[in-house]
Chains A and B, each alone.
Chain A
């Protein structure tokens, strides 16, 4: 009784993301799958859930579920055995309320009204959300949505649960709760596979641990787990050269409150972000870092006061504001305006705030260092995840606004690219005197180029000289 993948290869546009992979996922186990973003975790999980090739991806090899080829099962037969929880909790519900969503799913299994009511109640009780049945999804937090999503697939009767980075938008308390819940479910007999890029909290609960490396799975022996459960080291930043001059302030927070849905993610007394230099913002998953960046970039509502250059952020005219402030979006494709790589580069070269710095020679040099040469006519939407990220960052650094917010600029980059990208960020910052605030999990890489560190815990941020890497 298991899901097995034999010689599984999954490709997009003839480019293999998963190559000749073998995996057995038994019932009554909890498996952790780790790998940097862009390594193919989502791709593997979608293939295992039987969503490919229907939704893109070329698949070869065999996937069987309890000895039946998954490709031969109808959607509602498949849903009774295997279920996928998606990375983005917002994207997985077709209906506006919890009750309607369960009805929708269970109607697919052709159950009658009584069975639907009974399964819904049973599943919600299992995740401890009985009272949530009439809530609408817009009022739920990320963690609650993931619990409802879990209850939904339990109600469908799936024995194998695949969870794709289920904690990306979940605060650390809910993350722990859910991890415990997954452990209990696996002990009851479910076969569970969770992908994550952060190993925190797993090692006393899992039964297997795989790394997704170079398009294949590497089983990590239990003795080596402790290496991944890295005792985080602390690096102490050199105190900024305060002697130079009194540090200028770019942003001032005063009693700033930010809501994300129903949840208060930031409740900040007084804080300033200094002009010029690179500030690193760290904090647990789901604490609200992206919401803070969006607020600073005038893309999210706030209460209280947040000023840029002594003027309230929402009082700035958008055009003037975005003439000085830029945000590197978490998803690269949100940054693109044109179709081809050349069109994108030409556009920013024409509009750059520092056209004197960005000569053609300098651009060509960086393109070659970033391995982006020769892509000129290619559509930006067909680049690989890593290429998109590098291009996106290059575009924003060519624009070189006075203030730049970077949301996970290293996500999905290989080691060599990380080094080039760090060099690019640092070079531009120093040459042009930019103010940069960066949010990243990859603190070990960034710590060498940052000047200050803001730590974000619960609902407040504070400067710290120590950085966990």
Chain B
């Protein structure tokens, strides 16, 4: 079966495919399969609901804008609006399928091992993810610091970002120091505690799925 890297590759291939084609049928099939997979793998309904909620505005937005303001006939505009709307839906649910049961740690670790991505880069991203909750806190404390000085810092004001950047630089420097002190060095060779092998069966599955997409495209009339 597919490991994280292979899933990533498949997700990218599918995204590319639907970006280059205009088949509502294909998009609907892909969305349905991804949705079913989420259900079969017993993802919490709340989470699925969240994906739907995230999807609603961009899906309706892209549908309406192409439907109402398209340059073609009414039928063409409807078709194009449906293509664009369903495309966004597929992007979101393919993303949901990709991250299903997978932590950023596993994805990054297997990308690093399989595709020889730099360790500095992957650990940098992981560090940044760990900082996310603290970043939110820093943001509100920066805003409070502003209000204590009679300044309301809005999200469009550069001061906010400048201060956030000051925090980020301080943190990343501390993290880099901690990593160095724990023996990490850019470009140095490291051992691997876990293996993330890319199984042959995974490649076979990817090829089969991509062939299936072509078949659907061939028969799709809308």
Contacts and interface: CB of A to CB of B under 8 A. Distances in A.
A202 B152 CA distance: 47
A79 B190 contact: no
Contact of A91 (B105, B143, B174): B174
A348 B149 CA distance: 7
B166 interface: yes
B193 A88 contact: no
Given A110-B190, A110-B191, A318 B147 contact: yes
Interface string B166-207: 100001011111111111110011111110000000000000
DSSP majority for the B interface? helix
Given A111-B191, A322-B148, A299 B174 contact: no
B127 to A, nearest CB: 6
A330 to B, nearest CB: 11
Given A93-B178, A110-B191, A337-B149, A322 B144 contact: yes
A445 interface: no
Contact of A76 (B143, B171, B173, B188): B188
Interface centre among A46, A90, A91, A298 (most CB of B within 10 A): A91
Contacts of B12: none
Given A103-B193, A113-B193, A116-B193, A75 B144 contact: no
B13 interface: no
A398 B170 CA distance: 28
B176 A96 contact: no
B202 to A, nearest CB: 23
Contacts of B142: 334
B185 to A, nearest CB: 4
A90 B130 CA distance: 10
A75 B149 contact: no
Contact of B148 (A56, A107, A396): A396
Nearest to A136: B130
Interface centre among B105, B126, B180, B182 (most CB of A within 10 A): B182
A447 interface: no
B149 A347 contact: yes
A297 B144 contact: yes
A381 B194 CA distance: 43
Interface string A96-112: 10001001111111111
A94 B179 contact: yes
A205 interface: no
A3 to B, nearest CB: 14
B65 interface: no
B123 interface: yes
A102 B188 CA distance: 18
Interface string A144-175: 00000000110010000000000000000000
Given A74-B185, A110-B190, A112-B191, A54 B180 contact: yes
Interface string A433-451: 0000000000000000000
Interface in A196-237: none
Contacts of B147: 318-319, 321-323
A33 interface: no
Contacts of B174: 86, 88, 91-92
Contacts of B163: 337
A368 B194 CA distance: 62
A212 to B, nearest CB: 20
Given A318-B144, A347-B149, A79 B182 contact: yes
Nearest to A381: B166
Nearest to B190: A107
B193 A107 contact: yes
A395 B185 contact: no
B95 interface: no
Contacts of B194: 113
Nearest to B181: A84
B173 A326 contact: no
Contacts of B1: none
A107 B123 CA distance: 13
A76 B189 CA distance: 10
Interface centre among B149, B159, B189 (most CB of A within 10 A): B149
A381 B58 CA distance: 42
B191 A299 contact: no
Given A79-B181, A108-B184, A156-B182, A334 B145 contact: yes
Given A96-B105, A318-B144, A399 B149 contact: yes
Interface of A: 46, 49, 51, 54-56, 74-76, 78-80, 83-84, 86, 88, 90-96, 100, 103-113, 116, 138, 152-153, 156, 297-299, 318-319, 321-323, 325-327, 329, 333-335, 337-338, 347-348, 351, 381, 395-396, 399, 401
18 contacts: A51-B181, A76-B185, A78-B183, A79-B183, A86-B178, A92-B178, A95-B126, A96-B105, A103-B193, A105-B184, A106-B193, A108-B185, A110-B189, A299-B140, A319-B147, A319-B152, A347-B151, A381-B166
Interface of B: 105, 123, 126-127, 130, 133-134, 140-152, 159, 163, 166, 171, 173-185, 188-194
Given A78-B183, A83-B181, A86-B177, 6 more contacts: A55-B173, A83-B182, A84-B181, A94-B182, A108-B190, A329-B141
The 8 nearest A-B residue pairs measured at CB: A79-B183, A322-B147, A108-B183, A351-B150, A75-B185, A76-B183, A91-B174, A92-B178
